[in-house]
Amino acid sequence: MTELRGEIVRLKARIEELEKKNPTQRLGQSYSVKADEKRRRDADEKKSGKPTTHGSGKDQQASERRGRLPNQEKIDKADHHELVLPDGFDLPQCHPGIERPVWRIRDGKATLVIWI
C-alpha cells in the first residue's frame, strides 16, 4: 500500500513538472466555432477561385462524366471479343444472349474483354 502511495506522489510530481514545461493555453473562444469559420472561409476561397464547368453553378466538378460507364461504352472500348461456351456445347447449338464486359490481364496489361 505504501508503495502505491509513493508511486502516486512521484507521478503527481512528474505531472506538475511536465505542465510547467508545456502548459495548456486556453482559447478565448470556442474551438468548434473557430474551426467552422475556417472551414467556411476555405470553402468560399475554393469556390471563388475555380470556375464552374457545368450545371447550375453549384456543381464544381472538373468534368461532366463521373462514376460508372454504361455497358455500351465499355463494349465499344473493348480490345478483344471472346466467345465463352459451356463444356460440351457447339457453336450452332448456342445463341448468344448477353455481352458481358470484363477485365483480364493479357501480356501483363489490363485489357477489356467482351464475353459473348
Q: pLDDT by residue for the chain (116 residues), tens digit each?
A: 889 999 999 999 998 888 887 766 666 666 688 888 888 888 887 777 665 455 555 555 556 666 788 888 888 888 777 777 777 777 777 776 777 788 888 888 887 777 76
Cα–Cα nearest to 70, from 28, 112, 101? 101
**Structural contact between residues 111 and 104, judged by C-beta atoms closer than 8 angstroms:** yes
Identify any residues that bridge with 106 across adjacent strands, giving them in sequence order. 109
Q: Where are the extended beta strands (E) located within 6-88?
A: 80-82
**pLDDT for the residue 64:** 66
**pLDDT for the residue 9:** 94
**pLDDT for the residue 110:** 81
**pLDDT for the residue 28:** 65
**pLDDT for the residue 11:** 95
Q: In what order do the strands lie in the sheet with 100-106?
A: 80-82, 109-115, 100-106
